[in-house]
Amino acid sequence: MKRVCIVGASGKLGRYMVRHALERGYEVVGVCRPQSVGKLDGYKERITIVPGATNDARVIERAVSDCDGVLTVLVPWGVEHYATATAQAVLDHAPPGARLIFSCGWHISRDGKDVYSWKLRLFVKVFGFLARAARVADLDDQVQACRRVFESGTRWTVVRGSDLEEGESQGLPVWSRHVGDPVLSSNLTRRVDFALFMVEALENDELIHEAPAIVGCMTPSARMGRRRKASPGTAP
């Protein structure tokens, strides 16, 4: 795989993905809103920037042509179905067979088998209500966007992020199919490692048609998971 497009390249997650992709030798095309092009100044000699709204199908069509992989930051900003239109544009225009990696949060469930803490359920309810009332964001938009991805016939992976923090990389996060798995209970990932997981997924065919929920590999719950695996006879 040689050429990848990063949709939403100017955001925090997006810029980390640009860095990881360049370090791995990919040719990078970045899509970002025109007012955010300056945020990519540090990379402008090394990547192709396509300015434009990520939900504009013509922008996406131009950016993803000839790409072997597309990394998409799905954000539910506004109430105009920004995330859904972004996902749809990528699904419609990425070359057949391209690896498609999307980002979202733990609150997205692929099969309804995730078990959420009351805190997360409350947060989604309250934040979702307030954000929609203020017309700032629409969490259902991200749900709908992911639904379209899950139902598509593409080679997708939807990476579901825990709470995020800044900091140096600690390594590739660990993942589980379902929120509620004790290995995830620390609910914290470094943003740089969320991006690492997205970029590494491009070459990991085991993640095709998976929606991994991730957590930092150095968090207490991830360490505990490793200890349990090392000594499977140990009582939990």
Ligand X SMILES: NC(=O)c1ccc[n+]([C@@H]2O[C@H](COP(=O)([O-])OP(=O)(O)OC[C@H]3O[C@@H](n4cnc5c(N)ncnc54)[C@H](OP(=O)(O)O)[C@@H]3O)[C@@H](O)[C@H]2O)c1
The residue range among 74-82, 143-151, 201-209, 225-233 that interacts with ligand X, by the rule CB under 6 A, is 74-82
**Residue 75 interacts with ligand X (CB under 6 A)?**
yes
136 vs 63, 81, 152, CA distance in Å?
27, 12, 28
Size of the site for ligand X (CB under 6 A): 23
Residue 49 CA to residue 26 CA, distance in Å, equals 14
CA Rg, the chain, in Å?
17
> Is 163 an interacting residue with respect to ligand X (CB under 6 A)?
yes
Is residue 47 close enough to count as binding ligand X by CB under 6 A?
Answer: no
3-state per-residue secondary structure call for 160-215 = EECCEECCCCCCCCEEECCECEHHHCCCCEEHHHHHHHHHHHCCCHHHCCECCEEE
CB closer to ligand X out of 81 and 228: 81
Whose CB is nearest to ligand X?
Answer: 11
CB of 120 to ligand X, least distance (A): 11
Q: Which one of the spans 21-29, 57-65, 92-100, 156-164 is the region binding ligand X (CB under 6 A)?
A: 156-164
What residues from 10 to 29 belong to the interface with ligand X (CB under 6 A)? 10-14
Determine if 198 is a binding residue for ligand X (CB under 6 A): no
Neighbours of 39 (CB within 10 A): 17
Give the 3-state secondary structure percentages of the chain, helix then strand then coil, rounded to 5.
Answer: 40, 20, 35
Interface pick for ligand X out of 36, 109, 169, 176 (rule CB under 6 A):
36
Candidate ranges 42-50, 76-84, 149-157, 179-187; the one touching ligand X (CB under 6 A): 76-84
Residue numbers of the site for ligand X (CB under 6 A)?
8, 10-14, 32-33, 36, 39, 73-75, 77-78, 82, 103-105, 161, 163-164, 191
